[in-house]
Chain A
Amino acid sequence: MNQDYELFTAQTKAFIYGEQLRAAQRMLDFDYLCRREEPSVTALITPERGGFEKLFWGTKEIRIPRITSLAEAASRFPEADVLVNFASQRSAYDVTVEALGVPTIRTVAVIAEGIPERQSRRMAAMAKAQGKWIIGPATVGGVKAGCFKIGNAAGTMENIRTAKLYRPGSVGFVSVSGGLSNEAYNIVARATDGLNEGIAIGGDAYPGSTLLDHLLRFEKNPAIRLLVCLGEVGGTKEYEIAEAVKGGRITKPLVMWVTGTCAKVLPGQVQFGHAGAKADSAAETADAKNAALREAGVIVPDSFDDYGRKIREVYERLVAEGIIVPAPEVTPPNVPIDYAQARAEGLVRRPTNFISTICDERGDVHTYCGVPIDRVIEKKYGIGGVIGLLWFKKEIPPHAREFIEMVLQIIADHGPAVSGAHNTIVAARAGKDLISSLVSGILTIGPRFGGAVNGAAEHFLYGLRNGLSPRQFVDEMKKRNVRIQGIGHRLHSLENPDARVELMKAFAREHFRATPLLEYALAVEQVTTQKKGNLILNVDGCIGVLLVDLLTELNFTDEEIDEMIRAGLFNAFFVLGRSIGLIGHYFDQVRLEQGLYRHPLDDILYDVPKAPEKIG
């Protein structure tokens, strides 16, 4: 058991309550810097998740258990007597009360701000009744130099090194403010042989332990020779310190300053940054408190500006009198810094494994090719405009957007009998989920299903680029025994045209600068329809050639167009559009509660050999 004045030693073990991996890592880094034998963080108490967490101990990783309840943690690790309670404002009280009821827990640091005063008062009373300690609420915690640090106290590793917190000095420091503790540790480090222990009690009106509580602890600790304290306007606790000094309960030299002397020039009722920092009567002002402390024999500077100087004066006197033997310097080990921090400081670099040139989600608003999404909505980019940004990396004109959307609408569905829809329906009826059913439909898309668009584009481009006349083109294809893709329809003919094709043609001719591939395909149609009336440019063919014309319209070179065709651009339009229909079929089947599909046997030709061919 520690001495009663010693809350933390180099053997102290603690639990951390809450998802606070960074705080845990900072505690371990501090431990490592202090050359502790074992890490101070015993377990993380995280009610939502058990298991373990990997954290660094120097350069190597260690496992820290995650435990879902404090009771279990305490029974597994009875040696841990500190709880660093990061629970939120809402639950910090319950967690603290539970911890005070655990016999092995002696000190609870409560980090949350905004805990109701009545709850803080109850926690303080319970702790007092049980002889336990609460530090906080609303605090960053504290640090025992060379031994232990609470959560995020003492700031970055750089601060800790500058303030020499890796080895104990002779000064016991306690303040209200946690935000100022780094500043104070540095002042102490510059003026003396360093901090022995530093505590921030928190800025609320009713902290669980008071400035005086800690000063009395420091008074009893023979390693601490000089007391330094920073009080605050509001409340009357500083008078108890004056009384303790007068009454001889504090005998060690105490340098103290109460902040808030500016209150006299401020209009009444200004609430400073801290909840407790408000003077409700003359006795609560900083001036009155500083005067009372000075009168009691406390060393009070004239202003904060003199604080460091006063501390140094007293320290040097104590050294001269032989009361303080300056703590020897030690060289702390190197603690590696995290990659993220090193990168932020420009110390390391690393080649990336991934690259993205179409979007960025890191800022306040995600962007599509540099256009914030809110602008996409505001400026009505539509699906066509978004495809322009994410597929082509271009801000495409309204007619191009409209054409793309027209294509998607036309492609969206083609009845339940085609292979994609059929597969989706069969999968849905087998009880598969949306994604599986959709994907089983999509997987049929390729050279045969949906491939005509792609094929048509390639065929007509071949003819046009090679300067073949429509007649030559038809003849060559025939000679090669290749059926021209995108030509031919079951019902439609020149006399009975397909309305979808007519609409697309009319739109393209009105809005596109030029439609060379369409005109070429129509010239080919003139040749093929001479042979048979229904060998017209069909809807797949029309989409294929017009998409190529669109790409030309969007300033893509021939090489780029070929590259996109090879990469599957036409299938991309088909997958995107047809997914709408496939999803519709899935929902349709689910709503109709259709059962498992089994293909009728009489629709299958069974032609199985009597016996297999024997080999060898």
Chain B
Amino acid sequence: MAQKGIREYDAKRMLARAVGEYSGGRFRFDDRLALVGPGTNLDTLDKEHPWLTATRLVVKPDQLFGKRGKNNLLLLDADLKAAKAWIAERMGKEVTVEGAGGKTTGALTHFLIEPFVPHDAEYYLAFTSSREVDTIHFSPRGGVDIESVWDTVVSVDVPVLADPMKVEILSKLPDIPEKEDVAAFIRTLYRTYVDYHFTYLEFNPIAFSRGRLLPLDTVARLDDTAAFQCADKWGPIEFPRPFGRPMTKEEAYVESLDAKTGASLKLTLLNPDGRVWLLVAGGGASVIYADTVVDLGFGSELANYGEYSGDPSTELTYEYTKTLLDLMTRKPDPQGRPKYLLIGGGIANFTDVAKTFTGIIQALDEYKDKLKKNRVKIYVRRGGPNYKEGLENMRRLGERIGVPLEVYGPETHMTRIVSLALEEAQR
């Protein structure tokens, strides 16, 4: 949902197509691009992309992280043989990269190969969006950390209702060669930015050579909710996961459950040794439960973030709960302390609480021995249609399986069970 980073390969592929079309052939972006993934056969690569043997090449990882030059992950001016060797040496290897958000470690899986182009100047160009305007940022000093030369950046705000092709750019540009062409080219790129539902597009640098702009490093985000309008424009597109966060098996399983249904099932494992586990209904409520655990000083004990919502079927809630209980009961706390399962949620609008509890109850029943072995205490709080029956079923389950279980309804503040559990944990 919403803004998603895409590969540099996909961004350049789309731009190459759009720039030619929107400028009536006046401008073009190079469409000689090759993406190498774990399944790519390097030996036959030049059959598919004959240009690989005809030009000098640039190779870099294409996995949504920048500063590849600084991180020593950029191969310039190489021939195909060197390029292949460079990729083969790095494919599947773990690297630690330093970026704006600190250090991230992950495996290299995708590389972009494109022609190496000697050029005259390097500019900075970016398009960003905020509520009322899009902003075009341009600086004649590209290829450096743009924050360090921000005073050279000119910014043009374009109101969201303006016609992209009538945007006045020329008069705002600093003194650079062939200004008219550059302005017209930027306008073409801006129209693409709008029409293709980009939410962020940054070229740092974009080179200037013989009257043409050439994107070197490109960072792009698309609004994936526009897929229904842009399927043809985008072509086959993949939204890769952020670098360095491989999913656990369980997270991947929950994601596959989520993909099967209109309902929502989310699981992020934070600390498998944590003692506070959340099984919360609702996107908004789930955040608040996690917040409250953190705000009450138990952030280090928070095992997971997750939510289920949108009326998932009994089978899905059962599978989801089982996945969570399996993670929770793999081994008892080394110091023998209890663990806490918070089955929480707000007052539902129209979800039948008793019905959604059915799958949870089935899973809890199945895990009763492991729950006891792990000294699990369960706290339930929920409201909404049929909540009395749902809560009563939970209460009876607790008695039947002999696991300590406290049940609260809408008369109790939503996050009260968090403080109840944590007070008990402190004792």
Which A residues touch B349, using CB under 8 A?
140, 152, 155-156, 178-179, 182
Q: Is the CB of A268 within 8 A of B410?
A: no
Could you tell me the distance in whole angstroms from the C-beta of A277 to the nearest C-beta in chain B?
7
- In chain B between 298 and 345, which residues have their CB closer than 8 angstroms to a CB of chain A? 299-300, 302, 305, 307, 309
Q: Is the CB of A159 within 8 A of B347?
A: yes
User: Which residue of chain B has the shortest Cβ distance to A128 in the bound complex?
Assistant: B132
Indicate if A121 sits at the interface (CB-CB under 8 A).
yes
Complex Cα spacing A564 to B356, Å: 46
Indicate if B205 sits at the interface (CB-CB under 8 A).
no
Q: Is the CB of B415 within 8 A of A273?
A: no
- In chain B between 246 and 277, which residues have their CB closer than 8 angstroms to a CB of chain A? 264, 266, 268, 270
Complex Cα spacing A180 to B101, Å: 31
Q: Could you tell me the dominant secondary structure of chain B's interface residues?
A: mixed
Indicate if A526 sits at the interface (CB-CB under 8 A).
no
Tell me how many residue pairs across A and B have CB atoms closer than 8 Å.
187
A265-B284 contact in complex given A183-B346, A205-B2, A305-B415, C-beta closer than 8 Å: no
Which B residues touch A528, using CB under 8 A?
none
Complex Cα spacing A270 to B247, Å: 12
Could you tell me the distance in whole angstroms from the C-beta of A27 to the nearest C-beta in chain B?
14
User: Which residue of chain B has the shortest Cβ distance to A270 in the bound complex?
Assistant: B268
Indicate if B131 sits at the interface (CB-CB under 8 A).
yes
Indicate if A298 sits at the interface (CB-CB under 8 A).
no
Indicate if A203 sits at the interface (CB-CB under 8 A).
yes
- In chain B between 273 and 304, which residues have their CB closer than 8 angstroms to a CB of chain A? 282-288, 290-296, 299-300, 302
Which A residues touch B266, using CB under 8 A?
273
User: Which residue of chain B has the shortest Cβ distance to A162 in the bound complex?
Assistant: B410
Q: Which candidate, A64-72, A111-119, A532-540, is the interface stretch facing chain B?
A: A111-119
Which of A270, A274, A308 meets B413, CB within 8 Å? Answer: A308
Could you tell me the distance in whole angstroms from the C-beta of B265 to the nearest C-beta in chain A?
11
Q: Is the CB of B292 within 8 A of A155?
A: no
- Interface readout for A179-212 with B: 1 if CB under 8 Å, 0 if not? 1101100110000000000000001111000000
Complex Cα spacing A325 to B2, Å: 45
Complex Cα spacing A325 to B53, Å: 83
- Interface readout for A202-229 with B: 1 if CB under 8 Å, 0 if not? 0111100000000000000000000000
Which A residues touch B347, using CB under 8 A?
155, 159, 182-183, 186
Q: Is the CB of B295 within 8 A of A304?
A: yes
Q: Which candidate, B9-17, B34-42, B210-218, B223-231, is the interface stretch facing chain A?
A: B223-231
Which A residues touch B348, using CB under 8 A?
155, 182
Which of B294, B305, B414, B419 meets A183, CB within 8 Å? Answer: B414
Q: Is the CB of A305 within 8 A of B282?
A: no
Q: Which candidate, A5-13, A256-264, A369-377, A436-444, is the interface stretch facing chain B?
A: A256-264
User: Which residue of chain B has the shortest Cβ distance to A262 in the bound complex?
Assistant: B290
Complex Cα spacing A177 to B386, Å: 22
Indicate if B242 sits at the interface (CB-CB under 8 A).
yes
- In chain B between 91 and 131, which residues have their CB closer than 8 angstroms to a CB of chain A? 101, 104, 129, 131
Indicate if B401 sits at the interface (CB-CB under 8 A).
no
Interface hub of B101, B104, B225, B282 (most chain A Cβ within 10 A): B225
- Interface readout for A338-369 with B: 1 if CB under 8 Å, 0 if not? 00000011000000000000000000000000
Q: Is the CB of A118 within 8 A of B223?
A: yes
Complex Cα spacing A203 to B385, Å: 23
Could you tell me the distance in whole angstroms from the C-beta of A146 to the nearest C-beta in chain B?
20
Q: Is the CB of A121 within 8 A of B132?
A: yes
Indicate if A409 sits at the interface (CB-CB under 8 A).
no
Complex Cα spacing A114 to B197, Å: 13
Complex Cα spacing A509 to B61, Å: 77
Which B residues touch A302, using CB under 8 A?
295
Which B residues touch A178, using CB under 8 A?
349
Complex Cα spacing A186 to B382, Å: 13
Which of A124, A180, A278, A308 meets B288, CB within 8 Å? Answer: A180
Which B residues touch A259, using CB under 8 A?
284, 287-288, 291
Indicate if B20 sits at the interface (CB-CB under 8 A).
no
User: Which residue of chain B has the shortest Cβ distance to A275 in the bound complex?
Assistant: B2
Q: Is the CB of A262 within 8 A of B268?
A: no
- Interface readout for A70-103 with B: 1 if CB under 8 Å, 0 if not? 0000000000000000000110000000000000
Indicate if B384 sits at the interface (CB-CB under 8 A).
yes
Interface hub of B290, B291, B307, B352 (most chain A Cβ within 10 A): B291
- Interface readout for A279-317 with B: 1 if CB under 8 Å, 0 if not? 000000010000000000000001111011000000000
User: Which residue of chain B has the shortest Cβ distance to A118 in the bound complex?
Assistant: B197
Q: Is the CB of B287 within 8 A of A187?
A: no
Interface hub of A124, A232, A275, A304 (most chain B Cβ within 10 A): A304
- Count how many chain A residues have C-beta atoms less than 8 Å from C-beta atoms of the other chain: 64
Which A residues touch B302, using CB under 8 A?
262, 265
Complex Cα spacing A124 to B418, Å: 38
Indicate if B209 sits at the interface (CB-CB under 8 A).
no
Indicate if A62 sits at the interface (CB-CB under 8 A).
no
Could you tell me the distance in whole angstroms from the C-beta of B234 to the nearest C-beta in chain A?
13
Which of A118, A180, A262, A345 meets B284, CB within 8 Å? Answer: A180
Could you tell me the distance in whole angstroms from the C-beta of A610 to the nearest C-beta in chain B?
80
Indicate if A233 sits at the interface (CB-CB under 8 A).
yes
Indicate if A122 sits at the interface (CB-CB under 8 A).
yes
Complex Cα spacing A262 to B297, Å: 11
Q: Is the CB of A305 within 8 A of B287?
A: no
Complex Cα spacing A422 to B364, Å: 67
A273-B286 contact in complex given A206-B131, A266-B270, C-beta closer than 8 Å: yes
Could you tell me the distance in whole angstroms from the C-beta of A234 to the nearest C-beta in chain B?
10
Q: Is the CB of B161 within 8 A of A126?
A: yes
Could you tell me the distance in whole angstroms from the C-beta of A36 to the nearest C-beta in chain B?
22
Indicate if A269 sits at the interface (CB-CB under 8 A).
yes
Q: Is the CB of B291 within 8 A of A121?
A: no
Indicate if A276 sits at the interface (CB-CB under 8 A).
yes
Complex Cα spacing A176 to B346, Å: 15
Indicate if B194 sits at the interface (CB-CB under 8 A).
yes
Which of A271, A274, A305 meets B295, CB within 8 Å? Answer: A305
User: Which residue of chain B has the shortest Cβ distance to A180 in the bound complex?
Assistant: B284
User: Which residue of chain B has the shortest Cβ distance to A277 in the bound complex?
Assistant: B287
Indicate if A319 sits at the interface (CB-CB under 8 A).
no
- Interface readout for A114-136 with B: 1 if CB under 8 Å, 0 if not? 11111001101110010000000
Indicate if A272 sits at the interface (CB-CB under 8 A).
yes
Which of B159, B285, B419 meets A125, CB within 8 Å? Answer: B159
Which A residues touch B285, using CB under 8 A?
179-180, 183
Complex Cα spacing A261 to B131, Å: 24
Q: Is the CB of B225 within 8 A of A89?
A: yes
Interface hub of A114, A122, A277 (most chain B Cβ within 10 A): A114
A114-B284 contact in complex given A126-B161, A182-B349, C-beta closer than 8 Å: no
Indicate if B400 sits at the interface (CB-CB under 8 A).
no
Q: Is the CB of B386 within 8 A of A345?
A: yes
Q: Is the CB of B414 within 8 A of A116?
A: no
Complex Cα spacing A260 to B290, Å: 8
Q: Is the CB of A117 within 8 A of B292?
A: no
Complex Cα spacing A463 to B131, Å: 93
Which of A129, A182, A262 meets B287, CB within 8 Å? Answer: A262
A182-B346 contact in complex given A117-B223, A304-B292, C-beta closer than 8 Å: yes
User: Which residue of chain B has the shortest Cβ distance to A123 in the bound complex?
Assistant: B160
User: Which residue of chain B has the shortest Cβ distance to A122 in the bound complex?
Assistant: B160
Complex Cα spacing A186 to B381, Å: 14
Contacts A/B (CB < 8 Å), 28 sampled: A114-B1, A121-B131, A122-B160, A122-B161, A162-B410, A179-B282, A182-B346, A183-B346, A233-B287, A259-B284, A259-B287, A262-B299, A262-B302, A262-B305, A264-B294, A265-B270, A266-B268, A266-B305, A268-B104, A270-B268, A271-B1, A272-B286, A273-B286, A277-B287, A304-B291, A305-B295, A308-B413, A345-B386
Name B's A-contacting residues (CB within 8 A): 1-3, 101, 104, 129, 131-132, 159-161, 194, 197, 199, 223, 225-226, 228-229, 242, 245, 264, 266, 268, 270, 282-288, 290-296, 299-300, 302, 305, 307, 309, 346-350, 352, 383-386, 410, 413-416, 418-419
9 extra interface residue pairs, beta carbon distance < 8 Å, beyond A124-B131, A183-B383 = A89-B228, A155-B347, A155-B348, A179-B349, A180-B284, A266-B290, A268-B101, A269-B245, A307-B413
